[in-house]
Amino acid sequence: MRVRVLGTAAGGGLPQWNCGCESCCRAEELGTQRTQDCLAISGDGTTWYLVNASPDLRTQLLAAPELRPPPGTRRTPVEGVLLTSAELDHTLGLVTLREASQLTIYATEGVHRALREAFPITEIIGNYTAVRSEQISNGLVLAGGIAVQVIGVGDKRPRYASGLAGHDWVVAYRFTDTGSGRSLVYAPCLPAWHEAFERIIDGADTVLLDGTFHTEDELTRSSGSDRPASSMGHLPIRAALQEIARHPKSRFLFTHLNNTNPLVHPDAPEHAEVRAAGAAIAAERQLLVLE
């Protein structure tokens, strides 16, 4: 199983287009830019699935050689998209995929409803390509031999869908190679480390985990905001480090980093704390091979 980390930033990326904070200015100066959260996964190296479709998707696809069409063709290796939420930074890239010959979108019932009623993007791109909406469920096996498990981790709705009913608005996935048995968990947005999440990561080889904020009071210290990390649906890295100690055989990588997170910069002293816990920060375009 091959996994390409296409993007590692929270909504807005790094630097953000409308932000002149110290962190964004430093990222511009050092060239340490990060695109918005997105993943590509394949069980056979030929058929690929995206997990989330970021606003930066075109740039991300062009930067990944295995996701380009074969020479002389217009055939994409991308077979479908699995969504962890209906947030705009996870779905706007679907517009880019309107030029595919067909597109399958896997998501929970609530997410599909949001994309059908509040933000009818599936109807819009359905005018350009054949769109198939599939409700994600345990027991699904993707082409290439990847078994999918899904758990709901949060009920935070996007602002545009605040009036819609539903549950499991935010999910985590466990992908298992049916041949080798190797597995990866993807949880870019995790409000809390609960028992169900503990079970789904048990024995996983690699866990890509919510790294939006380093500390609970990060926004307060950086911008004076009164919104703690947990109120925004994100378990801070410092709290997660205490939990991953129970899983010494799993490799933990943090992704979905906000521009305020000091760990977006490779020379931040906070990396020592993460390394001491046996974890690391996911890199842009990082390739993970699980075999």
The CATH number given to whatever domain includes residue 146 is 3.60.15.10
Closest C-alpha among 68, 72, 74 to residue 48 = 68
Q: How confident is the model at residue 256 (pLDDT cuts 50, 70, 90)?
A: very high
Least confident among 62-76, 98-112, 174-188, 191-205: 62-76
Q: How confident is the model at residue 166 (pLDDT cuts 50, 70, 90)?
A: confident
- C-alpha to C-alpha distance for 107 and 99, rounded to whole angstroms: 21
Higher pLDDT, 120 or 220: 120
- For the segment 2-12, the average pLDDT, to the nearest whole number, is 97
pLDDT exceeds cutoff 80 at 202: yes
pLDDT at 224: 61
Considering the entire predicted model, what is its pTM?
Answer: 0.95
pLDDT at 182: 98
Show the domain range for 196. Answer: 2-289
Q: How confident is the model at residue 226 (pLDDT cuts 50, 70, 90)?
A: low
Percent of the chain with pLDDT over 90: 87
Q: How confident is the model at residue 100 (pLDDT cuts 50, 70, 90)?
A: very high
Angle at 238 between CA 170 and CA 249, to 5 degrees: 80
- Residue 90 near residue 83, CB atoms below 8 Å: yes
pLDDT at 225: 67
Counted domains in the chain = 1
Phi and psi at residue 195, in whole multiples of 5°?
-60, -40
pLDDT exceeds cutoff 70 at 5: yes
The per-residue b/e assignment along 132-142, b for 16 or more CB within 10 angstroms, e otherwise, is ebeebeeebeb
- For the segment 132-141, the average pLDDT, to the nearest whole number, is 95
pLDDT at 70: 86
- Cβ neighbours of residue 286 under 8 Å, at least 6 residues apart? 4, 5, 253
pLDDT exceeds cutoff 80 at 93: yes
pLDDT at 229: 79
pLDDT exceeds cutoff 70 at 116: yes
- Residue 200 near residue 172, CB atoms below 8 Å: yes
- For the segment 17-30, the average pLDDT, to the nearest whole number, is 93
